[in-house]
């Protein structure tokens, strides 16, 4: 037998190099954020997460919208249906590909909406209404930052054909700021993988729709900006 190899104590118990510690920490944080994203796929958890900011997020849209002229609403990526509350008395169709969200939204909002209200498990790219059923109000609320550029182009191109001639598309979405801070950190670790700089959003929107309003704003809590957002109102080109 060979004699046991002696290893100095300082070699046996030397601390991990910074690069190794950083890798382990990054992996742990990534796993943690992945768990958060999975939890948010449940409707009730998502609603609690969004509740403090939902009304504030809609302020630019409410400011620039005459609801008396709205007849038919299409809510793309409607989630658990919380946007329906803003459209009482209007024809409303919410589309989403998450069956949990659609089931929850149908149970909570369909009966109380006061007009035709439907939540449908469907990809908007496969939605082909007749000309008479086109929407005069299309909403995308925090949806496109979950979608890459190629598919965002395809979705916006499809929506050109769904929007009525006199209607408007309204987009609220997450901005990736250039400067460091809370908004940039939260954007980078958001459940959606595609937050974009402000100029990137503008280029994407105006490629498909004539701009009426393009407005940046912050979602704040206790006076502190947490998320950088953009509101776009557009019409057919």
The pLDDT of residue 128 is 97
Structure tokens, 76: 């793309």
Please say whether the beta carbons of 199 and 187 come within 8 A: no
* Position 18 in a domain: no
Number of structural domains the chain divides into: 1
**pLDDT tens for residues 45-99?**
444 445 556 678 899 999 999 999 999 999 999 999 989 988 988 999 999 999 9
**pLDDT tens for residues 209-229?**
999 999 999 988 888 888 899
* Position 21 in a domain: no
Whole-structure pTM value: 0.78
* Position 90 in a domain: yes
Please name the residue that has the structure tokens 């969004």: 50
* Position 189 in a domain: yes
* Position 29 in a domain: no
The pLDDT of residue 137 is 98
**pLDDT tens for residues 181-211?**
988 998 888 888 999 999 999 999 999 999 9
**CA-based radius of gyration for the chain:** 23
Q: How far is Cα of residue 21 from the mean position of the Cα atoms in its chain?
A: 33
* Position 27 in a domain: no
| pLDDT category of residue 27 using cuts at 50, 70 and 90 | very low
The pLDDT of residue 114 is 66
* Position 74 in a domain: yes
Q: Could you tell me whether strands 224-235 and 210-221 are parallel, antiparallel, or unpaired per DSSP bridges?
A: antiparallel
* Position 180 in a domain: yes
The domain spanning residue 187 has which CATH number? 3.40.50.150
State which residues form the domain around 184.
50-235
Which of the residue ranges 8-22, 56-70, 106-120, 185-199 would you say has the lowest mean pLDDT?
Answer: 8-22
As a whole number of angstroms, the distance between CA 202 and CA 197 comes to 9
């Amino acid at each position: 037998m060979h004699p046991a190899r002696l290893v100095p104590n300082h070699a046996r118990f030397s601390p991990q190099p910074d690069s190794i510690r950083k890798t382990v920490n990054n992996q742990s944080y990534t796993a943690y954020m992945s768990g958060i994203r999975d939890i948010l796929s449940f409707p009730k958890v998502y609603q609690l997460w969004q509740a403090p900011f939902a009304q504030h997020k809609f302020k630019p849209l409410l400011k620039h919208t005459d609801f008396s002229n709205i007849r038919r609403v299409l809510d793309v990526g409607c989630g658990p249906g919380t946007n329906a509350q803003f459209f009482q008395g209007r024809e409303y169709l919410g589309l989403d590909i998450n069956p949990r969200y659609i089931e929850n939204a149908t149970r909570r909002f369909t009966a109380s909406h006061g007009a035709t209200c439907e939540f449908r498990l469907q990809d908007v790219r496969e939605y082909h209404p007749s000309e008479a059923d086109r929407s005069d109000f299309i909403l995308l609320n925090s949806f496109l930052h979950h979608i890459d550029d190629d598919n965002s182009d395809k979705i916006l191109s499809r929506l050109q054909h769904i929007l009525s001639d006199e209607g408007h598309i309204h987009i609220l979405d997450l901005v990736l700021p250039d400067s460091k801070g809370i908004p940039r950190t939260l954007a980078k670790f958001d459940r959606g993988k595609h937050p974009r700089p402000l100029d990137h959003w503008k280029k994407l929107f105006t490629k498909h729709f004539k701009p009426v309003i393009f407005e940046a704003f912050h979602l704040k809590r206790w006076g502190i900006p947490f998320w950088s957002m953009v509101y776009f109102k557009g019409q057919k080109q």
